[in-house]
Amino acid sequence: MEISTLLGVIIAFVFLVIGMFWGGGNLEMFADPSSIVITIGGTLAGVFASYSIGDFFALPKVMGIAFKKVEYDPVSGINIIVTLANIARKEGMLALEERANEIDEVFLRKGIMLVVDGTDPELVKNIMEAELGSIESRHQKGTGMVEQIGALGPAFGMLGTLIGLIIMLGNMNDPSALGSGMAAALITTFYGSIIANVIAIPIATKLKTASGNEIMYKEILLEGILSIQAGENPRIIEEKLYSFLPRAVKEAPKKEDAEGEAEEK
Amino acid sequence: MEISTLLGVIIAFVFLVIGMFWGGGNLEMFADPSSIVITIGGTLAGVFASYSIGDFFALPKVMGIAFKKVEYDPVSGINIIVTLANIARKEGMLALEERANEIDEVFLRKGIMLVVDGTDPELVKNIMEAELGSIESRHQKGTGMVEQIGALGPAFGMLGTLIGLIIMLGNMNDPSALGSGMAAALITTFYGSIIANVIAIPIATKLKTASGNEIMYKEILLEGILSIQAGENPRIIEEKLYSFLPRAVKEAPKKEDAEGEAEEK
Amino acid sequence: MEISTLLGVIIAFVFLVIGMFWGGGNLEMFADPSSIVITIGGTLAGVFASYSIGDFFALPKVMGIAFKKVEYDPVSGINIIVTLANIARKEGMLALEERANEIDEVFLRKGIMLVVDGTDPELVKNIMEAELGSIESRHQKGTGMVEQIGALGPAFGMLGTLIGLIIMLGNMNDPSALGSGMAAALITTFYGSIIANVIAIPIATKLKTASGNEIMYKEILLEGILSIQAGENPRIIEEKLYSFLPRAVKEAPKKEDAEGEAEEK
Amino acid sequence: MEISTLLGVIIAFVFLVIGMFWGGGNLEMFADPSSIVITIGGTLAGVFASYSIGDFFALPKVMGIAFKKVEYDPVSGINIIVTLANIARKEGMLALEERANEIDEVFLRKGIMLVVDGTDPELVKNIMEAELGSIESRHQKGTGMVEQIGALGPAFGMLGTLIGLIIMLGNMNDPSALGSGMAAALITTFYGSIIANVIAIPIATKLKTASGNEIMYKEILLEGILSIQAGENPRIIEEKLYSFLPRAVKEAPKKEDAEGEAEEK
Amino acid sequence: MEISTLLGVIIAFVFLVIGMFWGGGNLEMFADPSSIVITIGGTLAGVFASYSIGDFFALPKVMGIAFKKVEYDPVSGINIIVTLANIARKEGMLALEERANEIDEVFLRKGIMLVVDGTDPELVKNIMEAELGSIESRHQKGTGMVEQIGALGPAFGMLGTLIGLIIMLGNMNDPSALGSGMAAALITTFYGSIIANVIAIPIATKLKTASGNEIMYKEILLEGILSIQAGENPRIIEEKLYSFLPRAVKEAPKKEDAEGEAEEK
């Protein structure tokens, strides 16, 4: 999703750093290697323990999705469906086979191939919905991993602070060291809260939107595939599929093809 | 929704300010630019990171809805439907086309145009429900953004307080400055709590009600459109649609048309 | 719901007051006008901002329901249905019209009138279910308002405590005043917790039960109305409707009409 | 369910008491009548305010269920169903009437009587499902009461601690009494946490399992009643009903009747 | 699920221990027998009170599942189904009986035996879905127990800390012992947090994934069994069942049998 994830995370950090200097602090006060080990190391170890090795190492790729541009443009998806529907109408279902091989989108190609093969409509629907369900549960696992980072971050932050407090309180020979010991103890809580609120929560939110977009996109494709198979009128198919889109996205194409459709005032 | 959002937020601030002065404080104690930067800046950066740029910049417009008057009057919606149903009965479906062009409401006009075009009833229902679903998910995204402000506000407030505490505890040369350092540290928590409880939660609650009203309004319209298409009796349609309304709204029109309908005792 | 709400709230307050005196305190320590302004005023302002003016001013009436006796007696509701079913069986549907006018309960009368008017059964069901749905969503809004009082109470309590702490820490010239300043700061948290736990949570719980009772009562009536329209045997209707009731309520009438029905051992 | 509830609660208390003595404390430190009044009294008053008087006084009976042995043995339930199915097959439905009177279980007897009376299968299903629904909502109210004890316990514990702190901070003439005042204030939090974690949460968990067992048991009976009415083969009925059981329960009877059914490896 | 659970838990502990030494502490500071008794003992007693004795003693076995390798390979499951479908096609349903006895998987064998016995398809579906439902509710109970460990751990940790604080504050003769008393009090909170975040949460997460895998595996088998009974084409069955799999798993077999199926770019 565009540049906003990276930019937002950076800006949030900038605001925090400004707050540190403005308040009379310096970066040194907030950088503590042992706190990093406990908070980041512990959080990652917890996530590692919670998922399979394969899922864990897919984490950078999963989180990377939140930093990428939207891939699923429903308008162009509808255009492809309408084109295919026109071909199916004029040249018959079999003519779709040739075109299907040019389709990059795996989901759409699979659906069209099932239609070309003359698969029973009910079965096409079942197969493609199972496919969608498996995509959705993959997304949920990905978002779940990022959300667990957001839950374990503050937890290991608190564990680190408890470690720091117990050490500090156990070594209270030098009361003058109390302040710096307490400050050091709080740094892991600080790190844990950053992990959750600056990194994990925004990324998880973006991933959910990205998943919603992909699922909506593929539901539109599936609706289109089934409509093509049912031999529906391409214009009706177009109108039906556009109903799935949010208004903002709908406006653009409407103006382009200038069909005099209703506009909101 | 009326004036209550703005008024309520202002009154809540007034009560807090009264509390400040009554307790012997002054506004200066509670105004701290660096705290504003961390809390408000950080919260907005977090929301920016969580949504697409377009969604983020729609935030003022979305939040503005909570300060506006209700737009969706179901009673007048039902009246329009009944009028259309009468026309359809007396002059036929095609007579609706002319009238449809006078309708401002996009949703209703689209539905009536589908009926005029002789679209299959099942398809009209599917298209209009997809439209409703897309409206609903747009609303959910809007409310979700405001709710995330309410979640990130206190989180960045706590981050600011941690920054303040770490700086204060790290610079404990001057014990006399402890109090003011601690006070300054707490201000971000104060700001974060205000962002959540005085601003975000009331607005999100209003947005949910506004969304519920719009969806109910459009569900009534959809029910009406389908009933018109099915050629139902306009009086039956009216009675059916009124059942969707809360009692308070129902009372008024009942008295007007004086149909001797049941009144609650 | 009986006297228990008022009694319970009073007893809870008595226990808290006993705790105050027993612990060596006095009521003066716990009464602070500025804390009342912040906590109660702020909470109400927040609720005011969250709902429409009309909904807000219905709040006393909504909360009052929790202090009233149960109005919906399903057993007498079933008796009315059975009486009507007998009339419908013996004298025909039209004979119900006269009786319907004697029914106080709006919901039941409306349903019977629809049946008398010869409305299509499917339509009767739709209309009455829409009616039920609108009642349910009205209840949910009412309970939601009380629950928001329970959420905003502690939030404004914390805001008041933060205000008190910031003032106290900012004026630390006189360390001897620290204790009383801290005590004063904590009073708003105390008030906020009372608003939530002694008042809002019990009332919201009662409102949910009251709503559940009313919905169950009206679902039974609806089931009865539909059965009457279907011309079912009054004895079968009675048995069916009794199945919806909790056992405790069922026992009583069973003994009265001594039908030798099964009793739990 | 068995002895484990009582035993578990006692063991948990024993561990807490061991911790008290091991840490150098004594029971006297932790027993404070005014704390008991605030925490336990306040919690019960809050629950009293939240439910009807009848529901409140049923609380000991409801909580007692968690300490009793399981009453619902699905295997013997299935055996009764199979016996009845055999009778119905060989001697006809009417022969069931005699047997039905010997059945203790109200739910099963009611279902069988409906079948014997020649009630329409769809109606039998509706009546018995309404019955099940009313049992389930009764259970939910019971569990809800115990869960509210678990929620109000810590809340009144915190209220008590706030009372203690406010009194202590308001009477800070004698700094040496600070420690004991603070200790006393914390006792209500301690009690509240015990109410929730040692008593309410385990009991609520057990009640949910007990409810699940009873509902499953009665769903099996209902499935069996409907199968008998449909005149299904007793052996098929047995096999079908066994599918509802968890594997562990299934193993036992399998070995007994030695039908060579599949065993897990 | 592979080695990751054990490894992750160990690594998390290593990070915590590194943090202890790095911060100037030693293991002795963090090992306290009485804290272990309160936290671990209390948590286990609470879980014991919440479940039946049988369920409680199954806990080590349930938790062990999180440390084992995945047992359910859907690809080989699909292969078995396809093999059986081919046999059923070529040699008839009865030929399956012989093969069924060679199947280790109880669920699959039971389903095939039902098909061989000529059970009605609807009934096969009902029985196998009841079986699946009972497996799922067994899993939920297992995960629920681990989650309750995660909830009671911090609760008993806090109870232990309260005990420590009350003792410490009650014995404040020696202010120099305050630090070590406080440190000791915090150790139970530390243990409770470890129980929840390092042990219970990762294991519960793994158990949920393991349950999801087993359910998906058996749903695929069930879909396959019903397709075999319906006499569907083995190739269609294979394609349909593969749709249930996540893409990653699908890739491998696709390459093997080199059917030129669509690959994602």
Reported confidence tier of residue E28, pLDDT bands at 50, 70, 90: confident
pLDDT at D220: 93
Question: What is the structure's pLDDT at D97?
Answer: 87
Chain B contact for C46 (CB, 8 A cutoff): yes
Rounded-to-integer distance, Cα B225 and Cα E87, Å: 54
Determine A/C contact with 3+ CB pairs under 8 A as the test.
Answer: no
What is the value of ipTM here, to two decimals?
0.87
Q: What band does D252 get if pLDDT is binned at 50, 70 and 90?
A: very low
Whether chain C has a CB inside 8 Å of the CB on D118: the answer is no
Kindly state the tokens that stand for B254.
């009942």
Give the lowest-confidence range in C120-124, C178-182, E143-147.
Answer: C178-182
Structure-block tokens of residue E243: 């749709």
The predicted structure's pLDDT at residue A99: 84
Q: Distance between CA atoms of C122 and B16, rounded to whole angstroms? A: 55
Q: Is residue E225's pLDDT more than 60? A: yes
Q: Distance (Å, rounded) from C-alpha C126 to C-alpha B220?
A: 13
Identify the pLDDT of residue E6: 94
Residue numbers of A between 78 and 97 with CB closer than 8 Å to E: none
Contact state of E41 with D11 under an 8 Å Cβ cutoff: yes
Query: How many interface pairs between A and B have CB atoms less than 8 angstroms apart?
Result: 164
Q: In chain E, which residues have their Cβ closer than 8 Å to the Cβ of D189?
A: 162
Q: How large is the average pLDDT for residues E70-96? A: 89
Give the residue-averaged pLDDT of C165-193: 86
* B205 — pLDDT class (breaks 50, 70, 90): very high
Q: Is the pLDDT of residue B256 over 50?
A: no
Q: Is the pLDDT of residue B263 over 50?
A: no
Cβ pair C202:D164 closer than 8 A: no
Closest CA to B145 of A216, A201, A192, A137: A201
pLDDT score at E265 = 35
Contact D155 C22 (CB under 8 A): no
Question: Looking at residues D217-225, what average pLDDT do you find?
Answer: 94
Q: What pLDDT shows up at residue D197? A: 97
Task: Name the pTM for this structure.
Answer: 0.90
pLDDT at A258: 38
Residues 218-257 (E) with a CB less than 8 A from some CB of A: 236, 239-240, 243-248
Answer yes or no: is pLDDT of E247 > 90: no
Chain B residues touching C155 at Cβ < 8 A = 193, 196-197
pLDDT tens figures, B218-236? 999 999 999 999 999 999 8
pLDDT tens digits for range C21-76: 888 888 888 998 889 999 999 999 999 999 999 999 999 999 999 998 777 888 98
Spatial neighbors of E182 by CB under 8 A, at least 6 apart, are: A169, E164, E165, E168
The answer to whether residue E223 scores a pLDDT higher than 50 is yes
Inter-chain touch E134–D245, beta carbons under 8 Å: yes
CA dist list (Å): D113 to B172, C261, D93, D102, D218: 83, 10, 10, 12, 16
Q: What value does the mean pLDDT take over residues C233-242?
A: 90
State yes or no: pLDDT of C118 exceeds 70.
yes
* pLDDT for residue E250: 59
Residue among B47, B38, B44 nearest B162 (CA) = B38
Residue, of C260 and C1, whose pLDDT is higher: C1
Residue % of chain B over a pLDDT of 70 = 92
D258 has pLDDT over 70? no
Across the interface, whether the CB atoms of B198 and C46 are under 8 A apart is answered yes
Q: How far is C206 from chain D (nearest CA, A)?
A: 5
3-state secondary structure of B43: helix
What confidence category does residue D200 fall into, taking pLDDT thresholds of 50, 70 and 90? Answer: very high
State yes or no: chains D and A have 3 or more CB pairs below 8 A. Answer: no
pLDDT of residue B260: 38
User: In which residue ranges of chain A is pLDDT below 70?
Assistant: 1-2, 175, 247-265
Nearest CA in chain B to A184: B166
Average predicted confidence (pLDDT) for chain D = 87
Cα three-residue angle A37-A43-A44, rounded to 5 degrees: 90
More confident residue, E28 or D44: D44
Structure confidence at residue C248 as a pLDDT band (50, 70, 90): low
For residue D7, the chain E residue with the least C-alpha distance is E49
Q: Inspect the interface and report whether the beta carbons of B119 and A209 lie closer than 8 Å.
A: no
Q: What is the mean pLDDT of residues E191-215?
A: 95
Residues of A in contact with B145 (CB under 8 A): none
Q: Residues C215-238: what's their mean pLDDT?
A: 92
The pLDDT score that the predictor gives to residue C69 is: 79
pLDDT at position A161 is 96
List the single residue in C with minimal CA-CA distance to D101: C262
Range in A6-10, B6-10, D243-247 with the lowest mean pLDDT = D243-247
Q: What DSSP string describes chain C? A: -TTHHHHHHHHHHHHHHHHHHHTT--HHHH--HHHHIIIIIHHHHHHHHHS-HHHHHTHHHHHHHTTSPP---HHHHHHHHHHHHHHHHHH-TTHHHHHHTT---HHHHHHHHHHHTT--HHHHHHHHHHHHHHHHHHHHHHHHHHHHHHHHHHHHHHHHHHHHHHHHHHTTT-GGGHHHHHHHHHHHHHHHHHIIIIIIHHHHHHHHHHHHHHHHHHHHHHHHHHHHHTT--HHHHHHHHHTTS-HHHHHHHHHHHT-------
User: Would the CB atoms of C163 and B16 count as touching at under 8 Å?
Assistant: yes
State the burial class of residue D30 (Cβ atoms within 10 Å of its Cβ: 0-12, 13-18, 19+). buried
pLDDT at E82 over 80: yes
Q: What are phi and psi of D264, to 5 degrees?
A: -75, 145
From the candidates D114, D169, D221, which should be mutated to test the interface with C, based on the most C CB atoms within 10 A?
A: D169
Within 10 angstroms of residue D86's Cβ, the number of other Cβ atoms is: 14
E200 touches chain D (CB under 8 A): no
| Separation in Å, CA of C128 to nearest CA in chain B | 7
Provide the pLDDT for residue A248. Answer: 56
How confident is the model over E124-149, as a mean pLDDT? 93
Question: Is D3 part of the contact surface with chain E (CB cutoff 8 Å)?
Answer: yes
Tokens 């911790």 sit at which residue?
D19
- pLDDT tens digits for E101-111? 888 888 999 99
Which residues in chain C are closer than 8 Å to B263, comparing Cβ atoms?
106
Indicate the average pLDDT of chain B.
87
In this predicted structure, the answer to whether residue D263 has a pLDDT above a threshold of 60 is no
Which residues, other chains included, contact E190 with Cβ-Cβ below 8 Å and sequence gap of 6+?
A159, A162, A163, A166, E30, E157
Interchain pair E166, D193: CB under 8 A: no
Query: Which of chain A's residues have a Cβ under 8 Å away from the Cβ of E183?
Result: 165-166, 169-170
The answer to whether B148 faces chain A, any CB pair under 8 Å, is yes
State the nearest Cα–Cα gap between C211 and chain B, in angstroms. 15
Query: Which of B126, B140, B167 is the mutation pick for testing A, counting most A CBs within 10 A?
Result: B167
Higher per-residue confidence, D171 vs B125 = B125
Whether C163 contacts B16, CB under 8 Å: yes
Residue among D131, D82, D115 nearest D237 (CA): D82
Angle CA C12–C17–C18, to nearest 5: 95
Given an 8 Å threshold on Cβ–Cβ distance, is C137 in contact with B4?
no
Measured in angstroms, the CA of C156 and the nearest CA of chain D are apart by 16
